[in-house]
Chains A and B, each alone.
Chain A
Amino acid sequence: MAEFPPLSAEALNERRLLMERSRPGRTGASLPACDVPQSPLPDAGLLRDDLDLPEVSEGEVVRYFTNLSQLNFSVDTNFYPLGSCTMKYNPKVNEAMAALPGFAGLHPHQPARQAQGALEVLHRLQSLLAEVTGMAATSLVPLAGAQGELAGVLTIRAALEARGQGHRRKMLIPDTAHGTNPATAAMCGFSVVSIPSTPEGNIDLDAVRAQADGDLAGVMFTQPTTLGLFDRNAVELCRIVHEAGGLVYGDGANMNALLGRAKMGPLGFDVVHLNLHKTFSTPHGGGGPGAGPICASAELAPFIPGPIAVRDGNGAYELAMPEHSIGRLGGAQGNFGVLIRAFTYISELGREGMLDISGNAVLNANYLKARLRALFDLPYERGVMHEVVFSARKRKGATALNISKRLLDNGFHAPTMYFPLVVPEALMIEPTETESKETLDAFIEVLERIDAEAAADPDFLAHAPHETPASRMNEAQAARRPVLRWSREEA
């Protein structure tokens, strides 16, 4: 294993925490003196004694966080083929538009007449997303994909109650689903029934039929699936669930493959959530903020969360709660700053652009599949959509984990590993449409080189990465004796 040079004092210094940098008397903010007659402060018993925050200058703060940023991989600096996360390039103009003072400075509770421009953006985005998904109505309220799931499943629950079917408790979820699906179903009071996949990677319809009874509330289904496949049984799945009186929730995590190619509504979905931070290119921000709007059929539209933007007879916009709304899921009307970025993105690409996105995303994934299949097992022998899932199991001494860690040494972010659970040693690779053929070829070349390393020196691979800002972390230590913050006692 490669030896690391001892860390320089400067490098160690770079990682010191704010509280460790603090020196009494320093500040990073320039604040005014009080220009109004002073009122007496309230009784000391109500006041805080001491505020333990750092004391650092502006220059120190800027250098600290600039240096910290450079410890990150990001889409702006690296190819980031993280499956199911759609790490596409995030156009800079979107940032500029979200920062316009007329948007960024607008308070969410201003009267509608003072926010007509913002409300028009919301209203038009609602329509655009409804058109893309082939649905009747959109709620932009959900603050992330998982909250979109919550909104969608609560909407299903409310619609079932309105049908007099509120007793239905069973929610079917394929074994390939993201963990958020069962977690969401449980939060909404449903019991989860896991449905297996067929050897071809489609949902097992016999297993669905066996559950299609009077207790069936619905199914949560991701199309394309997390295997990167367009599930050919999905239309029939929707038919079976509807016939049994259930409703179909669509997880739109993988919508990038379907833009302009198919609409979720006509495919049989009743409600679907979209991840604007995936499909519509709003930046992931190191783990949020996202936005997870839901689009619903005409039957479910009255139940979606609010407030949503509506237009009156005079063409003026205002916020309103849908007639039988499940209510509010946050303090305002959604992550407007994220919604703006998605709106500008759709405006930049337009109708033809949607087809360019899905076409190039799917082509890139199929190209990686064709070029990499010599290295890995391909669990499903068919064309893929926006991503390809391989199994690393036939590589002796090279687990999915070790291959992924060695990719980091080569400047590529790791694919999604060990998911979906039905594929052993899974490597889930999603290139997106914003990567060039040269980048994909370089990625392929590196994987070929890693393959050779695995044969020649498996131990070297097992200790990768060797050239990243940090080496493998002791995660067991972190979990056994959790240290979750700096503390004065310890310091």
Chain B
Amino acid sequence: MNSRSLSFRLVTWYASLLTIVFVLLGSVTYLLVRHYLEANLLDIQARRAHQIADTLVDSIARTGGAAVAYEIEDLYSPEANDRFLRVTRDDGHLIYASGAPKDRSFVPGAVPLPSLNRSREFNRKEELAGGDLLIATVPHRVGEHRYLIEVGVSSAITEATLDDVVAMLAVGLPVAVIIAVAGGFVLVRRALVPVDRIARKAEDITQHNLSDRLPVVRTGDELERLSVSLNHMISRLEDAIQTSKRFVADASHELRTPLTVLRGELESLAQDPQLKSQTTETLGSLLEEVSRLSGIVEGLLALSRLDVGEAQAEWVPFDLAELAATTADQMSLLAEDKDIAVVCEAAPSITVEGDRARLKQVIVNLLDNAIKYTPRGGTVRLQISRQDGFAVLDVADDGIGIPPEALPHVFKRFFRVDDSRSRDKGGAGLGLSIVHSICTAHGAQVEVSSVLGKGSRFRVRQPLATATHSSI
């Protein structure tokens, strides 16, 4: 998966946040559980201490310390219950201290004595070598003496419960994160499906199908807004391109009248027999430029007419192979003039549908181009063949070729490979873009391949006419 894709980034963020939240929640749970368990345990110890204080220590004046110690040992047997028990008088005299517990979880002698002058009960946690000891301490006054009753228990009991909690969190947390991430991933993916569709459709939109629009999913969300805004943008683009196309058409129309006047005036001047030969030369040169200008205007008009889809005016099925052969024949003298051989290899009867005159212009322009850029004595090869449902027209020459960096631009209007080589050949740079526009209007593709110094090949692929049409 693409690590920069929106879904990946969203899910990563989501997973990280979720993990942090879960870890925090887990820690808080752990601490709370520990606190609760310890508080509970200490509470039990404290109650026991009170019990000892009320029932045994209270009567110490009567019974004496040894009797109290005996009673404690007898009633509570702290060693057997893994408990710590100590009774100390405020002058430091030890009344009773429990022995080592059965499970040896702590050493009673190592438990330090708290300060003896405290008058309120308190809890503490002693960290010993064998583990922590939770101790509740209850002071009890009898006569002029105060006795400190300490009851403790190893925190190992709570540790075991806490270990369970940790284990549960350690397993449950990743599982929860995985489930949440997987769910999130599916959700994000589903939410982003329209983005994919919009992107794919947007890829397909070029200047030739600007009337197409992106799919709008009526969900009322941001994606709907995005696709609607994009569609508005495409509309504005369409308008802009339409305007520029109309401008080209209008400008070309407007240029025609002045060009007619210019040509007419110059022609009538040029035919005056009394002119000096130098003037005639100048007039001739001017007329040639007017012709070139007219050529460009005509070319632009032809292109703008193709842009608005006028090529469909005369749509008939015809034999492309036959058209190619006659066109090549008509142009053979042009090639002969440069000692160029035009070889035409046409498979029999390849029927396509379209505007015959326009497709002829494709062949004429491609052949003219090939002849122009092939040196004296070269060969131009015209091939018409059938390839899985397509009529393929190939015009190949062994001429000067086209540099690779120029190849993607040869069909653009007014493009020249380099100014020096074609201006003297009289090209305006519109011939190949006319070829391209005609092909587009016919649902055909035209492509070019070339090796500099070896020659170029132009290939037109047009769908064959369907059988029902070709039989008419």
Q: Indicate whether A and B interact.
A: no
Contacts from A to B (Cβ < 8 Å): none
Contacts from B to A (Cβ < 8 Å): none
